[in-house]
């Protein structure tokens, strides 16, 4: 009934000095004290360690932790035509920054930014994997003023993301998450946003899961159910109303519920989480085609120790209500 | 008019970076570290005097992260593990674990000493209550408002102590203020607690946010000077401030602190000229976009020098000398 997974990044560094030290490796690479091959070796070891952590915590479906991603947009801006990497800007309401890409030409798919890493992660574990891409609407918004809306750019971004989804399907992915943090920030654009996402996902050959974080989706939820995707998910910590909005949706639609707050070290109690899960069961979650139970956002906002505690608590709580045995 | 200053931090010289690492390893004593922090501070004060900066900063040689520095000195805070801020940069995000208390003045003694090194004014440097809250994990207070106002009372006491120690300029940085437009009133309320009754010129630095979402509301922030970044956006965000008219002094960021490329004098002059079309020259200061601590010492010096030269030429062109 419930499938536990992550919806974004994982901390790239560990507390244990015996584990891979990607931060040090990147510093040494920048100073030309480490070769590209040596950096790649540390990066792969970090991805392996991240997957091991998720399995240890008991997640049903794991991710590569987005270890190569500095943010949700620049990996795609770097891999495809039409983008130039610009100045630093804060990543929503977080003390985290990214370099906002600008559009400097026609946006065109060149080669997948993520398919090769999916194959790498596939070789590292037999556990089901959740791949992820930046959603087409947010890809356009990340690159421009969030209040602007350029129809041609949205069309091009949809085509680009469709290319990524097809590449992931060819690489063997069964589920792909599309990050759409800008969805809901401009409710008046929801029609255009839905069209853009639909152009990327309709009949694309892989199951798609649109995930929205840091914002309130209640005003747009009715339109989201129209999307040709297999699941809609949202951050239920930042906007508690999102939980209710997802709870009361159509029975035949899959969901993802970010019920553990990824942006605070305060650890949820098992009692609180199991009560939340009981509400999902009472609402008929067993009949939904899928129900991902996740943190509210990527766990890289937390130190590694706290991220692990959140993952473990999430999995323990699900096991408690379903009676499942730990598989980690 | 077109006074030059800096936002706050300068890069630590190699000997101080090594000393801080040695302290962590236990191979250097704290008094020896403090001696080197003083040495580096003297060097940056001398540098600013030599190039002709009008309003000096102490350079923050004794500080690491701008939130963690204060959190480590307040009762009620703990310090977390590392979290990433961007690229490969990490910091230790503080955790509010119990009621916050300022056990003693935190920056006054250092400020008094730095001011004794120069006849030019040195800014007192504080991190604002909204940013302190936003850049902390809160495991104690019941709401963000409660945490922000608790921090405001602490920052107010520190600001008053700085003023009593002679500070003529007090900067209360609020880089996080633009992150949640729906909380701008809370940030303004907290700043009012901090600056109420201060006679010193008050400044607030804000950066890397979406200014369009908080302008003109930000003009209600009760400070005299708003210090904003412009070079990072190639001055494109100037247009935001054209209407309604900007009513405070603006400290105009004219060099990009996240680029190792040294701007040319002409680039900076062009940026200032564009800004003069938006802001009143009598209400303009000139400085870098943000603290320069992420650059090498030489890059920081080169950026500051070219900035001062550009301002000098602009003043000559405008017959302002």
Contact B179 A265 (CB under 8 A): no
For A286-307, write each residue's pLDDT tens digit: 999 999 999 999 999 999 999 9
Mutate to test the interface with A, among B14, B77, B88, B256 (most CBs of A within 10 A): B88
Q: What pLDDT is stored for residue B315 in this prediction?
A: 94
Provide the domain count of chain B. Answer: 1
Q: Which domain holds residue B161?
A: 3-12+52-317
pLDDT for the residue numbered A147:
44
Q: In the prediction, which pLDDT does A145 show?
A: 52
In a domain, B22, yes or no: no
pLDDT at B321: 63
**For the residues B291-305, what does the mean pLDDT come to?**
94
Global ipTM: 0.90
- Strand pairing category for A254-260 and A291-295: parallel
Whether residue A222 is contained in a domain is answered as yes
CA B231 to chain A, closest CA, distance in angstroms equals 9
Residues of chain A above pLDDT 70, percent: 97
Chain A closest CA to B179's CA: distance in Å?
A: 5
Rounded-to-integer distance, Cα B3 and Cα B224, Å: 14
How many domains, chain A? 1
User: Considering the domain boundaries, does residue B24 fall inside one?
Assistant: no
Q: Which of B282, B303, B309, B227 is nearest to B52 (CA)?
A: B309
Q: Which of A134-143, A229-238, B53-62, B177-186 has the weakest average pLDDT?
A: B177-186
Kindly report, residue by residue over B173-206, the tens digit of the pLDDT: 999 898 788 899 999 999 999 999 999 999 999 9
3-state DSSP helix/strand/coil % of chain A, to nearest 5? 45, 20, 40
Q: Report yes or no on B209 lying in a domain.
A: yes
The per-residue pLDDT for range A151-172, each reduced to its tens digit, is 899 999 999 999 999 999 999 9
Q: Can you give the pLDDT at residue A146?
A: 45
Q: Is residue B61 a part of any domain in this protein?
A: yes
Per-residue pLDDT at A149 exceeds 70: no
- Select the more confidently predicted residue: B89 or B5: B5
Q: Assess if residue A327 is contained within a domain.
A: no
A17-31, A90-104, B100-114 — which is least confidently predicted?
A90-104
Domain of B70, CATH number, reads 3.20.20.210
In a domain, A282, yes or no: yes
**Residue B115 reports pLDDT greater than 90:** yes
Q: What is the pLDDT of residues A59-112, one digit of tens each?
A: 999 999 999 999 999 999 999 999 988 777 778 888 888 888 988 889 999 999
Nearest CA-CA distance, residue B81 and chain A, Å: 5
Residue from the list B86, B88, B233 with its beta carbon closest to the beta carbon of A96: B86
| Measured distance CA(A79)–CA(A83) in Å, rounded | 9
Residue of B nearest to A299 (CA): B83
Candidates A12, A15, A93; nearest CB to B179: A93
What residue numbers bound the domain in which A137 lies?
3-322
Residues facing B101 on adjacent strands: B75
Instruction: Note the pLDDT tens digit of each residue in B216-253.
Output: 999 999 999 999 999 988 898 999 999 999 999 999 99
Q: What is the mean pLDDT of chain A?
A: 93
Is A328 within the bounds of a domain? no
**A300: chain B residues, CB-CB within 8 Å:** 83-84
pLDDT value for A91: 86
| Pairwise CB contact (< 8 Å): A145 & B212 | yes
Identify the contact set of chain A against chain B, taking CB-CB distances under 8 A.
11-13, 15, 23, 26-27, 30, 70-71, 87-90, 92-98, 145-147, 264-266, 300-306
Which one-letter DSSP state was computed for residue B215? T
Cα(B213)–Cα(B184) distance, integer angstroms: 10
pLDDT of residue A311 exceeding 70: yes
Chain B residues inside the 8 Å CB shell of A93 = 134, 179-180
- Poorest-pLDDT segment among A90-99, A191-200, A213-222, B185-194: A90-99
What does the pLDDT read at residue A326? 55
A25: closest chain B residue by CA: B88
Q: Which residue of B has its CA nearest to A28?
A: B88
Specify the 3-state DSSP secondary structure of B122.
Answer: strand
**A to B CB pairs, distance under 8 Å:** 76
Q: Considering the domain boundaries, does residue B37 fall inside one?
A: no
- CB-CB under 8 Å, B179 with A90: yes
How far is CA A16 from each of CA A20, A27, A49, A107, B163, rounded to the nearest angstrom?
9, 18, 11, 42, 45
Q: Are strands B75-86 and B89-101 parallel, antiparallel or unpaired?
A: antiparallel
Cross-strand pairs, B204: B226
Q: Look up the CATH number of the domain holding residue A290.
A: 3.20.20.210
Highest mean pLDDT among A42-56, A85-99, A135-149: A42-56
Range B19-29 burial, b when 16+ CB lie within 10 A, else e = beeebeeeebe
pLDDT (0 to 100) of residue B249:
97
pLDDT of B260: 84
Q: Which of A266, A300, A306 lies at the smallest CB-CB distance from B84?
A: A300
Confidence of residue A327 (pLDDT cuts 50, 70, 90): low
């Amino acid at each position: 009934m419930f499938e536990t997974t992550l919806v974004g990044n994982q901390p790239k560094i560990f507390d244990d000095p015996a584990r891979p030290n990607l931060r040090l490796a990147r510093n040494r690479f920048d100073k030309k004290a480490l070769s590209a091959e040596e950096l790649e070796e540390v990066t792969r070891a970090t991805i392996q360690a991240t997957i091991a952590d998720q399995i240890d915590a008991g997640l049903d479906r794991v991710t590569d932790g987005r270890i190569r991603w500095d943010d949700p947009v620049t990996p795609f801006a770097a891999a495809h035509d039409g983008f130039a990497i610009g100045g630093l800007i804060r990543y929503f309401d977080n003390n985290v920054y990214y370099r906002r890409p600008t559009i400097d030409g026609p946006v065109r798919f060149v080669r997948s930014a993520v398919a090769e890493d999916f194959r790498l992660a596939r070789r590292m574990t037999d556990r089901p994997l959740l791949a992820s891409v930046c959603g087409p609407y947010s890809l356009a918004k990340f690159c421009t003023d969030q209040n602007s809306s350029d129809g041609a750019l949205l069309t091009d971004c949809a085509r680009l993301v469709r290319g990524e989804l097809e590449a992931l399907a060819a690489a063997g992915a069964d589920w792909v998450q599309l990050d759409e943090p800008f969805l809901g920030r401009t409710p008046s654009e929801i029609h255009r946003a839905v069209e853009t996402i639909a152009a990327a996902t309709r009949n694309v050959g892989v199951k798609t899961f649109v995930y929205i974080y840091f914002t309130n989706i209640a005003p747009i939820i009715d339109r989201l159910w129209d999307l040709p995707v297999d699941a809609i998910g949202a951050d239920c910590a930042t906007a508690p109303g999102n939980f209710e909005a997802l709870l009361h949706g159509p029975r035949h639609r899959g969901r993802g519920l970010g019920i553990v707050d990824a942006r605070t070290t305060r650890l949820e109690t098992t009692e609180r989480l199991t009560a939340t899960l009981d509400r999902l069961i009472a609402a008929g979650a067993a009949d939904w085609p899928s129900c991902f139970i996740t943190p509210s956002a990527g766990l890289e906002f937390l130190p590694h120790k706290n991220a692990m505690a959140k993952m473990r608590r999430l999995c323990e709580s699900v096991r408690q209500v379903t009676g499942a045995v730990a598989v980690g | 008019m077109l006074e030059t200053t800096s936002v706050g931090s300068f890069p630590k010289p190699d000997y101080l970076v090594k000393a801080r690492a040695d302290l962590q390893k236990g191979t250097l004593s704290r008094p020896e570290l403090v001696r080197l922090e003083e040495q580096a501070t003297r060097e940056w004060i001398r540098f600013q005097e030599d190039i002709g900066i009008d309003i000096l900063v102490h350079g923050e040689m004794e500080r690491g992260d701008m939130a963690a520095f204060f959190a480590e000195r307040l009762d009620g805070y703990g310090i977390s593990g590392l979290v990433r801020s961007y690229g490969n940069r990490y910091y230790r995000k503080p955790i509010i674990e119990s009621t916050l208390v300022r056990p003693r003045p935190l920056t006054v003694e250092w400020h008094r000493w730095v001011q004794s090194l120069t006849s030019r004014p040195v800014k007192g440097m504080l991190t604002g209550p909204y940013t302190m809250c936003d850049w902390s994990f809160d495991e104690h207070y019941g709401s963000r408002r409660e945490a922000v106002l608790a921090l405001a009372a602490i920052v107010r006491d520190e600001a008053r102590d700085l003023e009593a120690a002679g500070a003529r300029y007090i900067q209360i940085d609020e880089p996080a203020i633009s992150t949640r437009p729906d909380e701008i009133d809370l940030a303004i309320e907290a700043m009012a607690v901090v600056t109420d009754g201060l006679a010193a010129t008050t400044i607030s630095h804000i950066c890397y946010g979406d200014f369009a979402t908080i302008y003109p509301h930000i003009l209600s922030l009760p400070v005299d000077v708003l210090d904003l970044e412009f070079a990072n956006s190639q001055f494109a965000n100037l247009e935001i401030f054209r209407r309604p008219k900007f009513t405070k002094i603006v400290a105009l960021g004219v060099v990009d602190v996240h680029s190792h490329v040294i701007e040319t004098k002409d680039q900076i002059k062009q940026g200032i000229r564009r800004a003069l079309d938006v802001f009143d020259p009598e209400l303009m200061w000139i400085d870098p976009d943000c603290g320069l601590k992420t650059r090498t010492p030489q890059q920081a010096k080169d950026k500051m020098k070219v900035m001062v030269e550009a301002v000098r030429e602009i003043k000559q062109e405008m017959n302002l000398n």
